[in-house]
Structure 1
């Protein structure tokens, strides 16, 4: 069963290959017919079709009778009249006299008098002489130079400027 399918596949591939070779050979050969012979054998295209009259317009749909108007809604009874009070509303309340002002708070005793010193305050402290300037720190010896760094490989050549 497996070998039969393989044989059919091989034969169809062979026929396809043969067809392709024939098409390529046919197309590469010079054509035996000239343009004049082709024009003599072919027929001219048919003229475009023209209508004898324009197509009729679609019929306009007409109602048999106009639709009836919708009847206006009618209440079964008229709406009730607006509510009326049996007596008029009371007048706004008016005071018999103006309201009293808020009471001013009064101390029971007068405030104590402002405290007065018995003697005048001491004058601000004045230095007898100006304070000495801060001492300038002087090194006894110059600081040691930083340790020299040694490269593990020779230093790069200096840059070349043009």
Structure 2
């Protein structure tokens, strides 16, 4: 509780200082616009004093005095005096005067006079005097000397500090 008093004193001094500054400050005066004039209600004009004229009934016009003319029947025209001409048969045209020429058979041509030459047999050529030399098998050369196999050497481990 003893530590609270200095803080309260500082707060009170600050409030008094702020109040003093606000009191010295010039007051701003706000000029309001003048109030609008009071609203005056204007009532609608009174209804016209004269009432509308009374309704006058107009009857439909009387029917026309003349009745329509009576219906006159018109008969169909009489048939035409001339009958159609009688049907005249037209025969087909006569066949063409010249018949097609008769078919003439043509025999095949006679065989050729010369017979083909007789077949001459040709014997195969005689075998060659010397037989081909025998095939000699040659084995492949021995493999060349191969280098020794490669051995992987891992790098040394990094030094430890």
Shared fold (TM-score greater than 0.5)?
Answer: no
> How does the TM-score come out when normalised to structure 1?
0.30
> Whose Rg is larger?
2
> How does the TM-score come out when normalised to structure 2?
0.30
